[in-house]
Amino acid sequence: MPEPVETTSPDGVDYGWVMQVTFVVTIAVGAPVVALLSTGVDLPTWDARAEFAIRVGAVIWLVVALSVFAYAKRKQE
């Protein structure tokens, strides 16, 4: 039987898992939220649309990242 190439034994929070889950949840939840919120805002140019998506997406990403980290920290104990 060959030896495993990589093994991990994270002490504390598994930051790789946190980053992966944050990425997936931000895309899955953030895209519909940005689209829904953009319906009530006048966005005449592509620059305005991109700026809106970045600003709202950043807030969504921050909330998701902190929530996923808190979940991982709570489940670790």
2-55: pLDDT as tens digits: 777 776 666 788 889 999 999 999 999 999 999 999 999 999 999 999 999 999
How crowded is residue 22: how many other Cβ atoms within 10 Å of its Cβ? Answer: 18
Answer yes or no: are the C-beta atoms of 61 and 22 closer than 8 Å. yes
Predicted confidence at residue 53, as pLDDT, reads 95
Dihedral sign computed on CA atoms, order 63, 65, 66, 67: positive
Predicted confidence at residue 22, as pLDDT, reads 96
Q: Where are the beta strands (DSSP E) in the chain?
A: none
Entry pTM: 0.79
Predicted confidence at residue 62, as pLDDT, reads 97
